Amino acid sequence: MSAAPLLRVRGLNGWYGKSHILQGVDIAIREGELLALLGRNGAGKTTTMRAIMGLLSRTEGELEFAGAPILGLPSYAIAQRGLALVPENRGIFGALTVEENLKLAARRGSPWGIERIWAMFPALGARRRTPGGKLSGGEQQMLAIGRALVTGPRLLLLDEPTEGLAPVIVAQLVEILRELKAAGLSMLLVEQSLETCMAVADRFQILDGGAIVWEGGSQALLAAADVRSRHLTLERA
């Protein structure tokens, strides 16, 4: 096993205009690992993902993917290297069909072809000619994940994929994340639900005020009641 992580983020600083949001974020994700990034609203989780994808106008620090520096590259070049973001708003083209949404994103050579997406998400296959805007929230989330997969990523970044979804759909998504993990995909998951994270994550890092304030495994997090009450939003009902 290679010692170098797939993604290494060191001392990452990021700004929105004059607002200095990320204040030295350190993250390491090993090949095949699912890292959960937790923290209260406004802690900087989405901003961290956007910075990794090259979507912030100003960033400083070290950002390495598969051993090569990616800080400062345009986002399309970062995507070409094998990172894919499933954004919080899902970014579906509402007027295009499910199939068209996938075809637009698909890249030659991806191990995740469109047929494999239909197999993984049968509900999407059944609605392949339906406009993206007519899908349910859960189906849109599946489509957003499918769209990221057909680009052939080595690292998938998921920003609150279960937000606003019914428990039965959340359970399906957890199964999907497990399948992706079993297929060897590395993932960075931002998620409000600690329960969901506990079901899939190998390791946890907690952000507060734009910096990592805690990291460890599930047992350590379960044992650290003070950390949970200070940094995690209450579990959704």
Q: Which residues bind ligand ATP (CB under 6 A)?
A: 16, 19, 21, 39, 41-47
Closest to ligand ATP by CB, 132 or 210: 210
Closest to ligand ATP by CB, 175 or 235: 235
Closest to ligand ATP by CB, 172 or 192: 192
Angle subtended at Cα 232 by Cα 141 and Cα 5, rounded to the nearest 5 degrees: 70
Q: How far is the CB of 233 from ligand ATP (least distance, A)?
A: 8
Residue type for position 131: P
Rounded to the nearest angstrom, the gap between the alpha carbon of residue 207 and the centroid of all alpha carbons in its chain is: 15
Are 138 and 172 in contact by the 8 Å Cβ rule? The answer is: yes
Q: How far is the CB of 192 from ligand ATP (least distance, A)?
A: 7
Q: How far is the CB of 44 from ligand ATP (least distance, A)?
A: 4
Closest to ligand ATP by CB, 37 or 70: 37
CA distances from 48 to 26, 62, 202, 213 (A): 10, 13, 19, 14
Q: How far is the CB of 12 from ligand ATP (least distance, A)?
A: 12
**Which ranges of the chain does DSSP label H, i.e. alpha helix?**
45-52, 75-80, 98-105, 114-120, 122-126, 137-149, 167-182, 194-200, 218-223, 225-231
The b-or-e profile of 45-71 (16+ CB within 10 A means b, else e) is bbbbbbbbbbbbeebebebbbbeeebb
Q: How far is the CB of 102 from ligand ATP (least distance, A)?
A: 27
Closest to ligand ATP by CB, 55 or 66: 55
**152 Cβ neighbours under 8 A, 6+ residues apart:** 82, 107, 109, 110, 111, 112
Are 187 and 157 in contact by the 8 Å Cβ rule? The answer is: yes
Tokens of 213: 């304030």
Q: How far is the CB of 156 from ligand ATP (least distance, A)?
A: 17
Closest to ligand ATP by CB, 150 or 157: 157
Strands 186-190 and 34-38, by their bridges, are parallel
Q: How far is the CB of 174 from ligand ATP (least distance, A)?
A: 19
Closest to ligand ATP by CB, 46 or 59: 46
